[in-house]
Chains A and B, each alone.
Chain A
């Protein structure tokens, strides 16, 4: 049994069940059911740690569309397992937290459904080996994120935040898909493992760099890298558990995961190195710089997340330098950056998750997140304060918290990369540690702002919605666990390092692992008075200085006014697209059915007629056709007369009846040509459509003669003759077509193959059942379309919700 594939689909299954549980078990908070899923998955995944850490990888495949090479392949190595554990572990904690955060009065049934959808999609992203399946799950995470951000859809800001995140991440996703298709067409496989195994064959291909850039675009939009970071602060309109889960711990790491996964493919290229490192390091700076000016605690954390994601991203860029050199004792040094990146990825999830939950607790307790109104909560909320301090100090990179370890490793990597003599690092490399250091100073400042402004200083109860108090103990369990992990990982970092990150490293640097390189790093808290320690001390000193003097240099932010921000540019572009497309659309959407018919028929003439001329497939000889009997002439004559009479019909009723003569005439022809199935269906269809016509007829105005210009008349004449000619040509051409071999002999075995003697229905229901199924679905959609257009009218109340 493919338990791993099942693990991906269990959350989807849960998403289907939760609405029913919510509906029928009113007394129990539905979160208690939802929490079972990630907890179970976490235990299952944790049981795989021993196997993975000993170097195994687990691969399980379920065929999906084998003819296109698209299979659901669950692939679990160190990297996948690390992320899968984060997804399920943080997921369980977040759900536990949300049980206390969201009251049962809210539509929590939908909340947990979306959350489960997200969890399944996210597990799918990190465990899929097939690029196209990965893409499907990737977009599902975007969609579920959209739904969760807009959970409070009555608020305008929620809807706009949701829209923004969807537009940016999905555009990135589509470019990533194009990149995947390029990679797939270069290497003739959709499997990432196989692409990695044969990477030498594609690295000189002309599409290699475009594919790389497109995949990176997907990663950068998802992981909120500059300049695509603008969606993340707006996404903070989501309920806080969602922010903690999707927008700091898991979904935004998907882009980083993608970069990591494709490092063995693209790594070692200068473009890759500079794109990933450059964008990452600048995002690190820009995020931390902007986080300081925020007054909303969640916005502060959002910018901080952007910054931290940039930091992780840049480390993966630096680590990829090792692949440029190939395996040697010198190049292994650079892999240290990748190791640090993976370690920080885990650390970030712990401390940032805890901090988000703290903000949620504060918000829940006093009703505001604005630091101008907060202050002095330390005595009233001591537990919350402790967690906030632990998280912030870890974020700032101070001991004894896990952030210190990864920050130090980050500094080491930035210093090492300056000594590399390739990629133009000799001249530009020095900028990396400098920017990193400046950004770290700002990180220290905003971490301090977070704690000091919220918990210290005077307590201003008159500015708060409710007096401050500690929340229900249940709400504190999750942040306390995460806060404890922050400390545990400091003292025992090698549990994570050896069991998860080292096997992950072997997957990222397969060529190195094959040579027997020791890719694991033993993490030490103390490694002597080295430059990185002095950098940290410098960060603290300057950070404190900047924090104290912040009144004097805050003016610097006036250099970056809101008017000229990327946000405004984004809004401008969106408005322009909307305006321009409205203008263009209005030009051809005339609201006259006759104009639309002209478009359709003109397209028909050009496409069908064009193909016949272009491919020179047109061939027919009259003598080969069967002779036309007298009776057939008679039917055709009747149909011709009816057809021409329609043009002169004075009332709609006459036209409808004449039209049905055409239809019944065709069914008589079907009888003559011995096609009973077609004749039967055509007869009934004709009867039913005539009735439908008559029902609609009741609502139509009297048939009037139209006043049309000569020009329109001649265009219409031209088009009707064109359609007639093309159609006749097609009908005759089909007879004489010898371009393909006939496939009808296959269907003649319908009794042996499908157990039915009626070949037509064997084709419909068995041989080509997929077409029939789709037609049925289309029919259903059409029916629902008619129903909604006619019957469902906008209610007046809905306007009021829109404007809130």
Chain B
């Protein structure tokens, strides 16, 4: 499909980064307000979907040479891996830990292992959505 829609392309280039920012925000906000790994990942995926729709697939793949199957697999590995991580510290499978740290400039921040777990979730969502989309659309 060749779409030559200048307005859509121009807008998409800008909007892509806005959506991307939203995705990152949602991902980190999820701990205390609406958001989280799943919705963050979905937003990120929808940003990519927008790119794939507006530009053709070849262009995007040239600019973003990422194998999204690997992204999904790595995400699942990360999520399951945090479960085993807890075992190393002698806790039960998938026990999540959190603590508060004082960091210069940022002040007190909270670091949790849930973030890693949710990061895995986000990567799986992005990977799977894009993989499915590309598989279907590239089918001859």
Contact = CB atoms under 8 A, between A and B. Distances in A.
Contact of A688 (B26, B129, B138): B129
Interface residues of B, number: 51
A772 B98 CA distance: 19
B55 interface: no
Contacts of A782: 128
A677 B49 contact: no
A790 B94 contact: no
Given A688-B42, A696-B136, A758-B33, A787 B114 contact: no
B30 A761 contact: yes
Interface in B4-50: 26, 30-39, 42-43, 45-46, 49
B81 to A, nearest CB: 10
Interface in B94-130: 94, 96, 98-99, 110, 112, 114, 117-118, 120-121, 124-125, 127-129
Contacts of A776: 75-76, 79, 120-121, 124
B66 interface: no
Contacts of B117: 765, 769, 772-773
A773 B39 contact: no
A784 B117 CA distance: 21
B83 interface: yes
Nearest to B30: A761
A684 B35 CA distance: 11
A676 B34 contact: yes
B96 A754 contact: yes
B75 to A, nearest CB: 7
Contacts of B137: 695, 698
Where chain A touches its partner, the secondary structure class is helix
Contact of B110 (A677, A695, A755, A765): A755
A274 B139 CA distance: 63
B72 to A, nearest CB: 5
A770 B82 CA distance: 11
Interface string A669-688: 00000001100110011011
Contact of B76 (A684, A757, A780): A780
Contact of A786 (B49, B92, B135): B135
A784 B131 CA distance: 8
Interface in A739-757: 754-757
Contacts of B30: 758, 761
Nearest to B23: A684
A756 B114 CA distance: 10
A26 interface: no
A684 B43 contact: yes
A766 B96 contact: yes
Contacts of A772: 79, 117, 121
A780 B128 contact: yes
B76 A784 contact: no
Contacts of A677: 34-36, 39
A765 B135 contact: no
B42 A773 contact: no
Contact of A791 (B112, B118, B135): B135
B32 A757 contact: yes
Contacts of B31: 755-758, 761
Interface in A772-786: 772-773, 776-777, 779-780, 782-784, 786
Interface string B60-92: 000000000100110110011001000000001
A664 to B, nearest CB: 14
Nearest to B86: A769
A787 B68 CA distance: 11
Nearest to A691: B49
A786 B34 CA distance: 30
B72 A765 contact: no
Closest 3 CB pairs of A and B: A783-B128, A755-B98, A757-B32
Given A783-B69, A787-B69, 19 more contacts: A63-B92, A676-B34, A691-B53, A692-B129, A695-B133, A699-B136, A758-B30, A758-B32, A758-B35, A761-B31, A761-B35, A765-B118, A770-B83, A773-B80, A773-B83, A776-B76, A779-B124, A780-B124, A787-B135
22 contacts: A680-B35, A681-B38, A684-B46, A692-B129, A699-B136, A758-B35, A761-B114, A765-B117, A765-B121, A770-B93, A772-B79, A773-B79, A773-B94, A776-B76, A776-B79, A776-B120, A777-B80, A780-B127, A783-B127, A784-B131, A786-B132, A786-B136
